[in-house]
């Protein structure tokens, strides 16, 4: 009995010594990031036959951890980091469109330009009014250039951040796998588990993760969408990839060519063949639809119906969202494939930097967040997903809208201006826009504005350059190049045909040629000319007698002819008698009407209409509302994250008050165990004394 009492006391001393050491470790690590409080659990030893207790022993030293709370914390960390990344950067984007100062914002600059056009219509011959229009048009163009350039710079910065964060993520994965490997070979892993959990917490700031603990104490780390990142000591890295196109052919497809593309976009293009055929671009060619959100919706025509595109070779390209698509052989982009496409064949086009998960076999799986589709098995949380959303959904959307505005401004202003007359006649005219092939109909020539052209008449007025007297006003006659067809038809006439028709219609007076894909017109000595009428849009489409050059926000500029000579700003028009009357404001009124006219805006995911001012005001407002909305989301997400952190600290954190209380408890228990041993020893000595 006395031996049992001694053993109980000795075991108790050992137990409470360990408990004091664990508590001391908690106190020492009270400020250590990622440390989880340890607790000692004891259990009663086996009861003896006599029914008396034999003491207690330490069962385990446990990390205080709530796995459900830990998982919720990881999820919320990813969401908070996602919102913070977007909210912080959007504040910088918003400033580009900010009109709060009242005199420098883009909408203010646009209003100023429209006001100057209105002033010109009231004083068409006034040189100050003409110069003001040119100055304000240049200011508007330059501000559009500047905003788009700033957005492009931010996109480049985001791409750099993406590459840097991917490197950091891969480094974290290697560290987690390294700790996993050590944990698999030891039973004393609490400190390593703390380190691993801290690394996983850091990882969740970059991307959404799910953690599964294995029986051997190691963990599997996956994205929330299921891609394996760490499995024991094995890692599966992420990789930033350059623009690329990949195929997903049907099982019975015989197609052995490739889909090629050129151009860039903030959207990812999903191509789906809807009918089988070759890649000729003709009546026997396959047709396809294109989606910008992974197949959730499909690009439509202006009437809302799904648009069918025709599969073509390098001479028959289709353009979607600024990206040209065509088919070639596996080794040549310029050679048409000899095999046909099957219905159901699919292709994925990434005309931008993407993110890929590298499989165990070295394959690449696209995990780039997909704008407008949350169910595409792509990353959806963390700062990496936030950077992609910032780049593609927000900045990319603003760039698309800015280009749509600029394109509409350029076309509608040029359409009105190209039919007008300046204060002086022209001796030459040079087209701003080029075709890729001058020998094919303009509708198929690669001319940027080809889809804007229509069948119609073009008239030119000729003048004696010395006296200014009208020589003639006549329409451009295409009968010499297409017998029986006098008027222009974009589906029939090529740019070469246009030049030939001008040479035939105004022989000895005007000569036209095609240089570098652009139309050039030269008047004979003593002859000047003005453009009198154009119902086809040909002049605006070719960039002749236009106010603006360029096609989008990055390239818009005032036509150098007008910028260099304000007399070439077209405010009047050629009347039926071939005269350009002093003070005529016909064209100036048409330009000024752009302030109130409803015009079309073509964007990646659909077309809209409205006034130029309303569209730009809505865009500027959208940047502000997006910033406010994401800032609110971030504040809410941060509040939830802070709350979860508090809850985690209440479970896993170290409370010095509680630990000091335990120290006193263990100290008293240690003293009691020592007293028990002393008492047992004294009793043993007493028994020995009785025997003697």
Q: Give 536-558 pLDDT, tens digit per residue.
A: 999 999 999 999 999 999 999 99
Residues of the chain with pLDDT under 50: none
Domain boundary among 567, 595, 620: 620
Angle between helices 396-417 and 612-652 (to 10 degrees): 180
Does 642 reside within a domain? no
Predicted confidence at residue 271, as pLDDT, reads 97
Q: What is the pTM of this model?
A: 0.88
Does 365 reside within a domain? no
Does 677 reside within a domain? yes
Distance, in Å, from the CA atom of 600 to the CA atom of 176, rounded to the nearest integer, reads 54
| Segments forming the whole domain that contains residue 676 | 2-64+653-691
Structure tokens, 386: 């936030």
Predicted confidence at residue 679, as pLDDT, reads 82
Predicted confidence at residue 48, as pLDDT, reads 60
Distance, in Å, from the CA atom of 456 to the CA atom of 676, rounded to the nearest integer, reads 113
Tell me, yes or no, whether 611 and 657 share the same domain: no
When computed from its CA atoms, the radius of gyration of the chain, rounded to whole angstroms, is: 38
Predicted confidence at residue 103, as pLDDT, reads 61
Predicted confidence at residue 621, as pLDDT, reads 92
Does 427 reside within a domain? yes
Predicted confidence at residue 349, as pLDDT, reads 97
Tell me, yes or no, whether 551 and 437 share the same domain: yes
Predicted confidence at residue 49, as pLDDT, reads 62
Tell me, yes or no, whether 604 and 681 share the same domain: no
Does 118 reside within a domain? yes
Tell me, yes or no, whether 22 and 123 share the same domain: no
Beta bridge pairs of residue 522: 428, 511
Predicted confidence at residue 185, as pLDDT, reads 63
Tell me, yes or no, whether 48 and 113 share the same domain: no
- pLDDT, tens digit, for every residue of 8-53? 777 778 777 877 887 878 788 778 788 887 888 888 777 666 666 6
Instruction: Determine contact, residues 267/321, Cβ cutoff 8 Å.
Output: yes
Instruction: Determine contact, residues 369/385, Cβ cutoff 8 Å.
Output: yes
The 8-class DSSP code of residue 218 comes to: -
């Amino acid at each position: 009995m006395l031996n049992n009492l001694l053993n109980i006391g000795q075991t108790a001393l050992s137990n409470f010594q360990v408990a004091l050491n664990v508590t001391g470790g908690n106190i020492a690590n009270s400020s250590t990031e990622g440390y989880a409080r340890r607790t000692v659990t004891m259990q009663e030893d086996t009861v003896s036959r006599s029914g008396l207790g034999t003491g207690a022993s330490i069962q385990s030293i446990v990390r205080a951890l709530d796995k459900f709370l830990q998982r919720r914390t990881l999820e919320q960390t990813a969401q908070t980091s996602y919102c913070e990344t977007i909210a912080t950067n959007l504040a910088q984007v918003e400033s580009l469109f900010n009109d709060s100062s009242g005199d420098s914002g883009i909408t203010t600059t646009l209003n100023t330009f429209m006001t100057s056009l209105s002033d010109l219509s009231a004083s068409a011959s006034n040189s100050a009014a003409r110069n003001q229009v040119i100055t304000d048009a240049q200011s508007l163009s330059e501000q559009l250039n500047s905003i788009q350039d700033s957005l492009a710079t931010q996109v480049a910065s985001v791409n750099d951040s993406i590459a840097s964060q991917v490197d950091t993520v891969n480094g974290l994965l290697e560290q987690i796998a390294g700790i996993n490997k050590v944990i698999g070979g030891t039973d004393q892993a609490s400190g390593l588990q703390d380190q691993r959990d801290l690394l996983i917490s850091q990882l969740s700031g970059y991307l959404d993760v799910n953690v599964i603990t294995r029986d051997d104490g190691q963990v599997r780390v996956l994205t929330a969408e299921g891609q394996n990142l760490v499995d024991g000591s094995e890692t599966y890295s992420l990789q930033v990839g350059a623009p690329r196109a990949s195929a997903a052919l049907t099982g019975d497809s015989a197609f052995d060519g490739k889909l090629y593309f050129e151009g860039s976009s903030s959207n990812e293009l999903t191509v789906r063949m809807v009918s089988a055929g070759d890649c000729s671009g003709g009546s026997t060619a396959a047709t396809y639809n294109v989606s910008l959100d992974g197949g959730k919706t499909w690009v439509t025509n202006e009437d809302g119906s799904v648009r069918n595109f025709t599969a073509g070779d390098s001479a028959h390209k289709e353009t979607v969202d600024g990206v040209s698509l065509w088919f070639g052989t596996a080794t040549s982009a310029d050679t048409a494939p000899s095999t046909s496409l099957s219905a159901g064949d699919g292709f994925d086009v990434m005309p931008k930097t993407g993110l890929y998960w590298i499989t165990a076999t070295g394959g690449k799986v696209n995990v780039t967040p997909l704008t407008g589709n949350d169910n595409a098995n792509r990353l959806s949380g963390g700062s990496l997903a936030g950077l992609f959303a910032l780049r593609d959904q927000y900045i990319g959307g603003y760039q698309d809208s800015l280009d749509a505005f600029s394109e509409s401004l350029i076309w509608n202003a040029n359409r009105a201006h190209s039919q007008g007359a300046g204060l002086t006649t022209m001796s030459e005219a040079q087209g701003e826009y080029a075709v890729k092939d001058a020998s094919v109909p303009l509708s198929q020539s690669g001319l940027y504005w080809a889809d804007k052209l229509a069948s119609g008449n073009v008239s030119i007025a000729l003048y004696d350059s010395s006296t200014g007297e009208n020589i003639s006003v006549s329409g451009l006659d295409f009968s010499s190049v297409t017998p029986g067809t006098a008027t222009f038809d974009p589906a029939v006439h090529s740019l070469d045909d246009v030049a030939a028709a001008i040479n035939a219609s105004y022989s000895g007076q005007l000569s036209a040629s095609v240089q570098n894909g652009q139309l050039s017109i030269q008047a004979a000595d003593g002859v000047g000319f003005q453009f009198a009428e154009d119902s086809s849009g040909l002049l605006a489409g070719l960039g002749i007698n236009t106010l603006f050059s360029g096609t989008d926000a990055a390239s818009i500029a005032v036509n150098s002819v007008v910028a260099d000579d304000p007399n070439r700003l077209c405010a009047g028009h050629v009347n039926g008698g071939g005269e350009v009357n002093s003070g005529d404001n016909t064209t100036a009124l048409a330009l000024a009407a752009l302030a109130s006219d409803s015009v079309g805006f073509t964007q990646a995911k659909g077309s809209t209409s409205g006034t130029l001012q309303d569209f730009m005001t809505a865009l500027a407002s959208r940047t502000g509302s997006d910033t406010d909305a994401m800032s609110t989301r971030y504040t809410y997400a941060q509040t939830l994250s802070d709350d979860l952190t508090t809850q985690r600290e209440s479970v896993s954190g170290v409370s010095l008050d509680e630990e000091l209380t335990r120290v006193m408890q263990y100290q008293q228990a240690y003293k009691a165990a020592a007293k028990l041993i002393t008492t047992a020893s004294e009793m043993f000595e007493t028994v020995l004394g009785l025997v003697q």
